[in-house]
Amino acid sequence: MSEPTQTAPAQSLAAAVREAAERLAEAGIPSPRADAELLADHLLNVGLGRLRALMLGDTPAPAGYAELVAERVRRTPLQHITGVAHFRYLELAVGPGVFIPRPETESVVQLAIDHVKGMQAPRIVDLGTGSGAIAGSVAHEVPDAEVHAVEFSPFAHAWAAKNLAPLGVNLVLGDLRNALPELNGTVDVVISNPPYIPAAATPNEPEVALHDPPEALYGGGADGMELPTAAAASAARLLRPGGYFVMEHAEVQAGWIAAVLDRTGAWTSISTHLDLNGKERATSAVLADQATRNERMGQ
């Protein structure tokens, strides 16, 4: 007579998350425990606080967890697996074809939001909106703002359309160099996180190198400065005199960007801003009035 077959008891959630964190650490993931928990919560949808409480008991691991962990071990970005990126107060839909918004950009958005405090219905433009992280945050946090967003890639534009439609942002598919000509000289704030990586500086992390679209990364030219320079020129075109421009960039570009802005004679109050790690990762400037610009240009 054959022995009755015994099914192995389901692995507990706590053990599965612990093992997943070990596998993710071995794969070189910088935040293995957090990713292991977020993947489990993606399936259980209980929130991290409750997830941790469940791990104290004998709750079984959810079906499909091992497959998600394996995908992350292959260095698929966490946000592509879960389909969402958290940015300030927003939960943005993201996936292949769009740049995943980064935490350092949240501080750049804060500079723009601080600047418009007390303004009535400020007009704000986001150049190179990607998922719509910047434009969407501004629209959400400054409810009376009139927000416009420009994106060149049709793939990113599709994600931005999904994220920005509920927030009332005017999204255009176009080139930041010449988009929104109807707003020339009328905008209060231009904000941008343009592509800025130098051509030869291939990112090390597979999540970035293999999954962020190249058109979102490389700024053009050996120093990556073509698109940041173009964004600054467009800001000078779009802003009213006294309007505010703020742009994210690489740490090494801080001095170059200040010099580019200074050289045009169009800007005053050129300031470099530090990110949370103390790195010079953003620059702001105020568009000078026409008389000052003429004087500087010797006219």
Ligand X SMILES: C[S@@+](CC[C@H](N)C(=O)[O-])C[C@H]1O[C@@H](n2cnc3c(N)ncnc32)[C@H](O)[C@@H]1O
Catalytic residue numbers, as ranges: 99, 193-194
Alpha carbon distance 36, 39 (integer Å): 5
Q: Which of 62, 77, 136, 194 binds ligand X (CB under 6 A)?
A: 194
Residue 69 has φ and ψ, to the nearest 5°, of: -65, -40
Q: Identify the three-state secondary structure at position 258.
A: helix
Nearer to ligand X, 13 or 187 (CB): 187
Residue 114 CB, nearest approach to ligand X (Å): 18
Alpha carbon distance 202, 289 (integer Å): 40
Residue 109 CB, nearest approach to ligand X (Å): 9
Residue 23 CB, nearest approach to ligand X (Å): 29
Alpha carbon distance 165, 156 (integer Å): 14
Alpha carbon distance 170, 286 (integer Å): 24
Q: Which of 35, 37, 151, 188 binds ligand X (CB under 6 A)?
A: 151
List alpha helices for 239-278, DSSP H.
254-264
Nearer to ligand X, 15 or 201 (CB): 201
Cα 205 to its chain centre, rounded Å, is 16
Piece in contact with ligand X (CB under 6 A), picked from 9-17, 32-40, 62-70, 148-156: 148-156
CA distances to 85, 149, 165 from 246, rounded to whole Å, are 23, 15, 24
Alpha carbon distance 246, 209 (integer Å): 26
Nearer to ligand X, 282 or 286 (CB): 282
Binding-residue total with ligand X (CB under 6 A)? 23
Q: Which of 95, 130, 224, 228 binds ligand X (CB under 6 A)?
A: 130
Nearer to ligand X, 146 or 215 (CB): 215
Which string of x and - marks every residue 73-112 that binds ligand X (by CB under 6 A)?
--------------------------x-x---x-------
Alpha carbon distance 222, 200 (integer Å): 7
CA distances to 44, 107, 160, 162, 244 from 189, rounded to whole Å, are 41, 15, 20, 24, 5
195 is an interface residue for ligand X by CB under 6 A: yes
Q: Record the tokens describing residue 253, joined without a space.
A: 């570009």
Q: Which of 95, 128, 136, 243 binds ligand X (CB under 6 A)?
A: 128
190 is an interface residue for ligand X by CB under 6 A: no
Q: Which of 19, 215, 251, 262 binds ligand X (CB under 6 A)?
A: 215
Q: Which of 21, 69, 190, 227 binds ligand X (CB under 6 A)?
A: 227
Alpha carbon distance 135, 179 (integer Å): 15
Binding positions for ligand X, rule: CB under 6 A: 99, 101, 105, 128-131, 133-134, 150-153, 156, 175-177, 193-195, 215-216, 227
